[in-house]
Amino acid sequence: MNTTLPTILIVDDETANRHLLADLLKDECRILMAKDGASALQRVREENISLVLLDASMPEMDGYEVLRRLKADEKTADLSVIFVTGQTDEEDEERGLLLGAVDYIAKPIRPLLVKARVRNHLKFARQRELLEQLSMQDGLTGIANRRCFDQALERAWLHSKRSGDTLALAMIDVDHFKAYNDQYGHAAGDEALKQVAFVLSSAMKRPYDLAARYGGEEFVLLLPGIDQVHAVLEQLRTAIMALDIAHSQSTAADVLTISCGALVKSASDGVALAELLQRADAALYEAKHQGRNRVVI
Ligand code: GH3
Ligand code: MG
Ligand code: MG
Ligand code: MG
């Protein structure tokens, strides 16, 4: 199976209709099929689907209800859905489009037009995914950017409020980086930031851990449910030294180093979200004050 093909989900209660569309699109898409609304919603949760071709009239749950449920769930709200249906009244079509369908195809289908429309919508979906990805990514290092971090922090904080779990937040700043640029040049500085970003992001082992570039030579880590954050940060501090990036102008060591400030909190401790970063930043300031290349919690 070619995994680079986009995945399409064909939803129709009639077998013949499903196979007609599948035959038409199988050369350019990976095809999944569902014969009712409930199994369609199930497939959407399990698979990475780019486009849904959705029959409007189905027994039990009709296509409009399927679309309504997809739109109501944040995880599937942006999924592209095309109605393929015999209900071609102006009101039906308007209803589908108002619910958020990207297009409306009338049965009996005209094969060439279906192919062309599907191709266009797959292209739009790809472009949107790419834009979404770029808007969350730091251009220089390729790791998460500040926007991505801010959203993740808010989600993690809400989760901590519900669960009572702790949340570790660390601010990391490269030591004497202005002097590094002055000594070795801005291009070498960029290269060093990429290496630091790689070490930090590679250390994020669980799916909800996040390393992000917060701006300039500052990074942030989000580690939900971790209490031994000091050990994690010590390991990272050592790993950055082990990169062995010469820094003759540093007062902290003869290689590039980082300072880390962190805190471990639970949302139920009564701290405001806005205070978290301030407190991590205060700990970082203390690490700088104590001579850099160290972790303060
Ligand atoms: P400290 O140890 O107190 O953090 O000193 P510092 O020199 O690292 O801190 P300062 O805030 O004075 O300087 C940060 C420097 O980081 C200045 C800026 O040119 C550099 N910098 C920020 N972003 C980038 C970048 O994207 N690429 C490069 N090469 N340098 C950057
Ligand atoms: Mg039907
Ligand atoms: Mg700084
Ligand atoms: Mg710095």
Ligand 1 atom with least separation from CA of 190: 29
Tell me the CA–centroid distance for residue 85 and ligand 2, in Å.
7
Report the alpha-carbon angle 21-24-27, nearest 5.
Answer: 125
Tell me the CA–centroid distance for residue 258 and ligand 3, in Å.
10
* Nearest residue (CA) to ligand 1, atom 18: 178
Taking the C-alpha atoms of residue 203 and residue 176, their distance in angstroms, rounded to an integer, is 23
Tell me the CA–centroid distance for residue 260 and ligand 4, in Å.
11
Taking the C-alpha atoms of residue 76 and residue 74, their distance in angstroms, rounded to an integer, is 6
* Nearest residue (CA) to ligand 1, atom 12: 178
Look over the chain and give the mean of its residue pLDDT values, rounded to a whole number.
Answer: 95
Whether residue 284 is predicted with pLDDT greater than 50 in this model: the reply is yes
Stretch 49-53: mean pLDDT: 97
Q: Are strands 30-34 and 80-85 parallel, antiparallel or unpaired?
A: unpaired
Taking the C-alpha atoms of residue 193 and residue 218, their distance in angstroms, rounded to an integer, is 9
Please write the tens of the pLDDT for every residue from 249-280.
Answer: 999 999 999 999 999 998 888 888 889 999 99
Tell me the CA–centroid distance for residue 176 and ligand 4, in Å.
5
pLDDT at position 266 is 87
Whether residue 1 is predicted with pLDDT greater than 60 in this model: the reply is no
CA separation (Å) from 261 to 31, 78, 126, 152, 297? 49, 37, 39, 19, 6
pLDDT at position 3 is 58
The proportion of the chain whose per-residue pLDDT surpasses 70, expressed as a percent, equals 99
Ligand 1 atom with least separation from CA of 173: 4
Q: Which residues contact 91 (CB under 8 A, 6 or more apart)?
A: none
Residues with CB under 5 Å of ion ligand 2 are: 13, 55, 57-58
Active site amino acids: 217
Please write the tens of the pLDDT for every residue from 2-47.
Answer: 458 999 999 999 999 999 999 999 999 999 999 999 999 999 999 9
* Nearest residue (CA) to ligand 1, atom 14: 178
Query: What amino acid is encoded at 201 in this protein?
Result: S
Report the residue count for the chain: 297
pTM for the model stands at 0.85
Q: Does any ligand 1 atom lie closer than 6 A to the CB of residue 84?
A: no
Q: Which pair of structure tokens corresponds to residue 134? A: 């770029």
Q: Does any ligand 1 atom lie closer than 6 A to the CB of residue 294?
A: no
Taking the C-alpha atoms of residue 198 and residue 202, their distance in angstroms, rounded to an integer, is 6
Q: Does any ligand 1 atom lie closer than 6 A to the CB of residue 292?
A: yes
* Nearest residue (CA) to ligand 1, atom 20: 178
Helix (H) or strand (E) segment spanning residue 83: strand 80-85
pLDDT at position 156 is 93
Question: How would residue 148 be classed by pLDDT, with cut points 50, 70 and 90?
Answer: very high
Tell me the CA–centroid distance for residue 78 and ligand 3, in Å.
37
**CA 273 centroid distance within chain:** 21
Helix (H) or strand (E) segment spanning residue 264: strand 258-266
Taking the C-alpha atoms of residue 65 and residue 236, their distance in angstroms, rounded to an integer, is 49
Please write the tens of the pLDDT for every residue from 173-189.
Answer: 999 999 999 999 999 99
| H, E, C per residue of 146-197 | HHHHHHHHHHHHHHHHHHCCEEEEEEEEECCHHHHHHHHCHHHHHHHHHHHH
